[in-house]
Amino acid sequence: MEIALFRILQEAVNNIAKHAEAKHGRIEIHFKDSSVEARITDDGRGFDPVSSHITWQTFGLLGIEERVLILGGTLRINSQEGRGTQIHLEVPVPIFPQSPMP
The per-residue pLDDT for range 25-51, each reduced to its tens digit, is: 999 999 999 999 999 999 999 988 777
Containing structural domain, residue 60: 2-92
pTM: predicted TM-score of the whole model, two decimal places:
0.85
Q: What is the CATH number of the domain that holds 38?
A: 3.30.565.10
The per-residue pLDDT for range 55-79, each reduced to its tens digit, is: 666 678 888 999 999 999 999 999 9
Q: At what angle do helices 61-70 and 2-15 cross, to 10 degrees?
A: 160
Q: Where are the beta strands (DSSP E) in the chain?
A: 25-31, 35-42, 74-79, 85-92
Is 101 a domain residue?
A: no
Asked if 37 and 89 touch (Cβ cutoff 8 Å), the reply is: yes
Phi (first) and psi of residue 20, to 5 degrees: -80, -25
Provide the H-helix boundaries in the chain: 2-15, 53-58, 61-70
Share the mean pLDDT of the chain. 89
Is 98 a domain residue?
A: no
Is 97 a domain residue?
A: no
Domain count, the chain: 1
